């Protein structure tokens, strides 16, 4: 390659990489896989090294000398006390050994202590704890300054507002201020749940849990954030006052132990080892274990253990020409990320079929030549939607690469265009429903095409299947096949008909099926009084999963009350965003849906409301004032709990106040409460009261 050609390629790569950076960090909707992205970036870094003169005349900053910037509109920006960096990474064991060789050169010994940690594929954040209390959460941003996401991070389950102080003084006190770095992630099952809702409502599904976590963390609707169960795992140290050594933290291993002692969520396992061979075997162990972890991992992070040694080698902060940039830290020289190549395989697309979902969404699926991938045989892979097929230009007959991350459904990541047979025609997405022939529609701003026919046999079937499924009415013996058979025989037309089935009607379906038919009818009859939330879930209201159905059951306690509820009533439920509430109301406003409810009731469906609900609890209807600092709950959390239990939070103490919930350093409110004879309770008492009304599902 000539310098002139190199320059052209460098400019092209820079713009391509910037494009992918913006999609990945700001919009959380990347177009290419990480593996392919890393290849582009490596190509650019190599060219920049090889042709420094071409770099000099290309102008502008290179993505190789920057940290991917995640900052977006709508968030306050906060400077990190200590910069957040990225990691140098490799897919190659040889390069990992080169890293070790550099350390050996710096310290003159092979016997170097390292930690090996899982590399969590989440969204990087920095938490600040001041005097043991969580005060701030900030995204990595450009490394120097990130977005303030404190409000959203406070919704995370499993993240303590306070650090557990050491049991004995010898263990060191809590730091005055500490920045703790970690990753926010979503579990696979939560990822799947949300993606299903996305698809049902016609929004683009997320490609993987990391992107969904990133997209969620940057939501401005706190209720939406809360409804998605984000979690966090912590592993890194930023600024610390006093010096970490004063707290007994002089290595990554000691820091890991401290995180555990403080009660923070941490990695399941890390290794403290001596020398590079031990590093390599720890990475092998990690690779064998990592699929069992609750978060996705994409590699191992190897760190020089001793902080004193880390300080000696410092950070990479130079651009491609080796010039130092103004104190901009890019990545530590004392760490190296070894990435695991994704599980990928090459196969061929035999056909593209279209699935029609419960809400009519048309989902294209690639039917594949069976191929072994991550230990399982893969025959089908999702193609998501029409836009995705067009973007990747997937055609029947194409050779493709399929990738499987964790337990996630395999996806076609790339078409091998060079292997395309000349007869391959571009795929044409159907313009009518493959099942009922109705022309498909696409709502404005949606990516999903739908069959709009409410009577579409496939939709009807899927609605009934959902209604009788384990997750909903849980009717024994009424699986997908039986529902299909009953529909084909004309014995049912909708979910309500199930309750009118007679033994005589079922007898012809099976040879000597008396016992079977009798049991099925008995089973169906027993579900007439199923839990209310199961019935609500079974209705298949868009956006309403089991958790929301439980909330609705707790709040309304009967189908009639739910049918008659107003948008306002629904919005007020804790955890319900406007979107969910609107979706609920829209569903009940459809005459056919109301008719179905009437039919169900007519057929004897009489669901059981939750046993002990919040409205029967000790907090329900009570006015509570908060004061002082509580030992574990933040004010926000306490207020939320009160409202969720049907109580009211008030700011000032009066004769109408039922309880004053008082923590440490309670001031004038405490005196006033005492003078008015208002009951004063502490956090423990408060939690006991809450528990009184919380036994119902
Ligand atoms: N597909 C795309 O279009 C696209 C675009 C941009 C970036 N990316 C992906 O993102 C990567 C770059 O992102 P990055 O700068 O965050 O780098 P990175 O994800 O490769 O590694 C650095 C990050 O790893 C995280 N990390 C996880 N576990 C850790 C541990 N135990 N110790 C220390 N750090 C740990 C930290 O947040 C750190 O910032 C690329 O390599 C690529 O895989 C993909
Ligand atoms: Zn149809």
Name the DSSP letter for residue 631. Answer: S
Name the DSSP letter for residue 251. Answer: B
CATH code for the domain of 22: 1.10.287.610
Q: Which of 316, 337, 339 to mutate to test the pocket of ligand 1 (most atoms within 8 A of CB)?
A: 337
Paired strand residues for 346: 401
- 118 and 244 assigned to the same domain: yes
- 350 and 418 assigned to the same domain: yes
Burial call 406-417: b when 16+ CB within 10 Å, e when fewer = bebebbbbbbee
Does 70 fall in a domain? no
Atom of ligand 1 nearest to the CA of 118: 31
Taking Cα atoms as reference points, which of 156, 174, 147, 183 lies closest to residue 75? Answer: 147
Separation of alpha carbons 239 and 178, rounded Å: 6
Name the DSSP letter for residue 664. Answer: B
Rg of the chain over all Cα atoms, to the nearest angstrom: 29
Taking Cα atoms as reference points, which of 201, 233, 230, 198 lies closest to residue 217? Answer: 230
Does 107 fall in a domain? yes
DSSP H helices, 90-149, are 93-107
Q: What band does 59 get if pLDDT is binned at 50, 70 and 90?
A: low
pLDDT at position 405, please?
64
Does ipTM exceed 0.85?
Answer: yes
CATH code for the domain of 421: 2.40.50.140
Binding pocket residue ranges, ligand 1, CB within 6 Å: 20-21, 23-24, 30, 32-34, 37-38, 67-68, 86-87, 89, 117, 119-120, 124, 183, 235-236, 301, 337
- 170 and 313 assigned to the same domain: yes
The residue whose CA has the least distance to atom 21 of ligand 1 is 87
Q: Considering every ligand atom, which ligand is closest to the CA of 126? A: 1
- 280 and 378 assigned to the same domain: no
Does 572 fall in a domain? yes
pLDDT digits (tens, 9 = 90+) for 358-410: 889 999 999 999 998 877 788 999 888 898 899 889 999 999 999 876 556 78
CA of 42 to the centre of ligand 1 (A): 14
Separation of alpha carbons 535 and 560, rounded Å: 12
pLDDT digits (tens, 9 = 90+) for 630-643: 888 888 788 888 87
- 44 and 161 assigned to the same domain: no
Separation of alpha carbons 528 and 327, rounded Å: 70
Atom of ligand 1 nearest to the CA of 30: 3
Atom of ligand 1 nearest to the CA of 87: 22
> What average pLDDT does this structure show over 555-576?
90
Separation of alpha carbons 376 and 385, rounded Å: 24
Q: Considering every ligand atom, which ligand is closest to the CA of 286? A: 1
Taking Cα atoms as reference points, which of 60, 41, 55 lies closest to residue 6? Answer: 55
CA of 86 to the centre of ligand 1 (A): 7
Separation of alpha carbons 479 and 354, rounded Å: 22
What is Dmax (Cα atoms) for the chain?
A: 89
Contact in structure between 385 and 447 (CB atoms under 8 Å): yes
Separation of alpha carbons 358 and 337, rounded Å: 43
CA of 520 to the centre of ligand 1 (A): 53
pLDDT at position 693, please?
53
Paired strand residues for 687: none
pLDDT at position 169, please?
62
Which of 106-110, 124-128, 570-574 is predicted least confidently? 570-574
Separation of alpha carbons 682 and 663, rounded Å: 6
CATH code for the domain of 574: 1.10.150.20
Of residues 405 and 70, more confidence is placed in 70
Catalytic residues: 119
Q: Considering every ligand atom, which ligand is closest to the CA of 211? A: 1
pLDDT at position 612, please?
58
- 323 and 189 assigned to the same domain: yes
Separation of alpha carbons 538 and 549, rounded Å: 9
Sheet holding 679-681, edge to edge: 648-650, 623-627, 659-662, 679-681
CA of 357 to the centre of ligand 2 (A): 9
Q: How many domains does the chain have?
A: 6
DSSP H helices, 393-511, are 457-468, 480-488, 503-506
pLDDT digits (tens, 9 = 90+) for 501-525: 999 999 998 888 889 999 999 999 9
- 390 and 425 assigned to the same domain: yes
The residue whose CA has the least distance to atom 17 of ligand 1 is 86
pLDDT at position 205, please?
73
Separation of alpha carbons 683 and 255, rounded Å: 31
Residue appearing with tokens 């933290």: 249
CA of 449 to the centre of ligand 2 (A): 11
Domain boundary among 312, 339, 366: 339
Q: What band does 430 get if pLDDT is binned at 50, 70 and 90?
A: very high
The residue whose CA has the least distance to atom 41 of ligand 1 is 38
pLDDT at position 327, please?
52
Domain boundary among 452, 478, 502: 452
Q: What are φ and ψ of residue 148, in 5° steps?
A: -80, 110
Dump strand ranges (E) for 357-476. Answer: 362-373, 376-382, 399-404, 411-415
Q: Is 183 labeled as ligand-binding?
A: yes
Residue appearing with tokens 């019935």: 535
Quickly count: other Cβ atoms within 10 Å of residue 587's Cβ.
16
Quickly count: other Cβ atoms within 10 Å of residue 176's Cβ.
12
pLDDT at position 74, please?
83
pLDDT at position 646, please?
76
Question: In sequence order, what DSSP letters do the residues of 27-93 get, joined into one string?
Answer: SS--SS-HHHHHHHHHHHHHHHHH-HHHHHHH-S--GGGSPPP---TTS-EEE-SS------EES-H
Q: Is 556 labeled as ligand-binding?
A: no
Question: Is pLDDT of 695 > 60?
Answer: no
Which of 314-323, 352-361, 468-477, 683-692 is predicted least confidently? 314-323
Percent of the chain with pLDDT over 90: 58
Instruction: Tell me what the pLDDT averaged over the chain comes to.
Output: 89
Does 309 fall in a domain? yes
Does 609 fall in a domain? no
pLDDT digits (tens, 9 = 90+) for 302-359: 999 999 999 999 998 754 444 445 557 889 999 999 999 878 899 999 999 999 988 8
Does 289 fall in a domain? yes
Which of 67-81, 401-415, 539-553 is predicted least confidently? 401-415
Map residue 227 onto helix, strand or coil: helix
Separation of alpha carbons 37 and 339, rounded Å: 13
CATH code for the domain of 96: 3.30.470.30
Does 487 fall in a domain? yes
Q: Which of 124, 217, 304, 336 to mutate to test the pocket of ligand 1 (most atoms within 8 A of CB)?
A: 124
Query: What is the number of residues in the chain?
Result: 697
Range of the domain at 472: 457-529
Q: Is 36 labeled as ligand-binding?
A: yes
> What average pLDDT does this structure show over 435-450?
90
Contact in structure between 542 and 587 (CB atoms under 8 Å): yes
Q: What are φ and ψ of residue 21, in 5° steps?
A: -60, -45
pLDDT at position 406, please?
57
Q: What band does 202 get if pLDDT is binned at 50, 70 and 90?
A: low
Separation of alpha carbons 152 and 186, rounded Å: 14
pLDDT at position 615, please?
53
- 306 and 323 assigned to the same domain: yes
Domain boundary among 573, 602, 631: 602
Percent of the chain with pLDDT over 70: 94
pLDDT at position 180, please?
98
- 335 and 306 assigned to the same domain: yes
Q: Which of 144, 232, 301 to mutate to test the pocket of ligand 1 (most atoms within 8 A of CB)?
A: 301
- 248 and 369 assigned to the same domain: no
Q: What band does 589 get if pLDDT is binned at 50, 70 and 90?
A: very high
pLDDT digits (tens, 9 = 90+) for 137-166: 999 999 999 999 999 999 898 899 999 987
Compute the half-sphere exposure of residue 290: CA atoms within 13 Å on the CB side of its CA: 25
pLDDT at position 177, please?
97
Q: What band does 596 get if pLDDT is binned at 50, 70 and 90?
A: very high
- 642 and 594 assigned to the same domain: no
Taking Cα atoms as reference points, which of 35, 97, 125, 120 lies closest to residue 299? Answer: 120
β-strand 659-662 against 679-681: which pairing, if any?
parallel
Q: Considering every ligand atom, which ligand is closest to the CA of 31? A: 1
- 295 and 146 assigned to the same domain: yes
Does 42 fall in a domain? yes
């Amino acid at each position: 390659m000539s310098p002139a050609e190199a320059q052209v390629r460098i400019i092209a790569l820079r713009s391509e990489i910037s494009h992918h950076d913006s999609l990945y960090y700001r919009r959380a909707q990347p177009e290419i896989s990480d593996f392919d992205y890393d290849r582009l970036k490596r190509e650019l870094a190599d060219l920049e090294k090889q042709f420094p003169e071409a770099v000099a005349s290309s102008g502008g900053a290179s993505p190789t000398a920057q940290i991917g910037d995640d900052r977006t509109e709508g968030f306050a920006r906060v400077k990190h006390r200590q910069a957040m960096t990225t990691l140098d990474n490799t897919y190659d064991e040889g390069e990992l050994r080169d890293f070790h060789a550099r350390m050996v050169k710096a310290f003159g010994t092979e016997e170097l202590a390292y930690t090996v940690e899982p590399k969590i594929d989440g969204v990087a954040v920095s938490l600040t704890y001041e005097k043991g209390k969580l005060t701030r959460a900030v995204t990595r941003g450009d490394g120097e300054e990130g977005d303030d996401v404190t409000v959203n991070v406070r919704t995370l389950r499993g993240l303590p507002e306070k650090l557990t102080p050491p049991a004995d003084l010898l263990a060191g006190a809590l730091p005055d201020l500490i920045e703790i770095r970690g990753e926010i992630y979503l579990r696979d099952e939560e990822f799947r749940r949300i993606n299903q809702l996305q698809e049902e409502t016609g929004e683009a599904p997320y490609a993987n849990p990391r992107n969904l976590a990133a997209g969620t963390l940057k939501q401005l609707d706190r209720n939406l954030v809360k409804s998605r169960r984000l979690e966090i795992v912590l592993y890194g140290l930023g600024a610390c006052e006093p010096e970490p050594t004063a707290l007994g933290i002089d290595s990554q291993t000691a820091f890991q132990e401290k995180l555990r002692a403080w009660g923070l969520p941490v990695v399941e396992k890390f290794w403290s080892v001596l020398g590079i061979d031990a590093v390599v075997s720890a990475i092998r162990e990690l690779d064998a274990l990592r699929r069992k972890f609750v978060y996705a991992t994409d590699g191992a992070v190897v760190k020089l253990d001793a902080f004193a040694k880390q300080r000696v080698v410092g950070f990479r902060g130079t651009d491609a020409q080796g010039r130092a940039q103004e104190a901009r830290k890019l990545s530590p020289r004392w760490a190296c990320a070894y990435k695991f190549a994704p599980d990928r395989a090459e196969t061929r697309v035999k056909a593209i079929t279209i699935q029609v979902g419960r809400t009519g969404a048309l989902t294209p699926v690639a039917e594949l030549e069976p191929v072994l991938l991550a230990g399982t045989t893969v025959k089908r892979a999702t193609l998501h939607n029409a836009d995705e097929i067009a973007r990747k230009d997937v055609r029947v007959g194409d050779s493709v690469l399929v990738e499987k991350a964790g337990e996630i459904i395999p996806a076609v990541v790339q078409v091998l265009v060079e292997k395309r047979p000349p007869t391959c025609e571009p795929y044409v997405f159907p313009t009518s429903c493959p099942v009922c022939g109705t022309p498909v529609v696409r709502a404005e701003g949606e990516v999903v095409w739908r069959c709009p026919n409410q009577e579409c046999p496939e939709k009807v079937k899927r609605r009934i299947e959902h209604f009788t499924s384990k997750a909903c009415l849980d009717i024994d013996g009424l699986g997908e096949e039986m529902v299909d058979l009953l529909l084909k025989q004309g014995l049912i037309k909708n979910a309500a008909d199930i309750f009118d089935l007679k033994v005589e009607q079922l007898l012809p379906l099976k040879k000597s099926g008396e016992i079977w038919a009798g049991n099925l009818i008995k089973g169906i009859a027993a579900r007439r009084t199923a839990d209310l939330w199961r019935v609500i879930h079974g209705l298949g209201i868009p956006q309403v999963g089991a958790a929301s159905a439980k909330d609705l059951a707790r709040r309304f306690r009967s189908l009639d009350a739910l049918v008659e509820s107003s948008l306002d009533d629904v919005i007020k439920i804790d955890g319900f965003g406007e979107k969910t509430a609107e979706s609920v109301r829209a569903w009940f406003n459809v005459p056919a849906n109301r008719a179905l409810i009437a039919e169900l009731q007519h057929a004897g469906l009489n669901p059981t409301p939750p046993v002990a609900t919040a409205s029967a609890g000790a907090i329900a209807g009570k006015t509570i004032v908060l004061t002082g600092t509580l030992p574990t709950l933040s004010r926000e959390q306490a207020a939320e709990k009160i409202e969720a239990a049907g109580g009211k939070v008030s700011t000032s103490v009066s004769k109408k106040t039922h309880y004053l919930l008082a923590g440490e350093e309670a001031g004038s409110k405490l005196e006033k409460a005492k003078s008015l004879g208002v009951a004063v309770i502490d956090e423990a008492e408060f939690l006991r009261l809450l528990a009184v009304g919380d036994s119902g599902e």
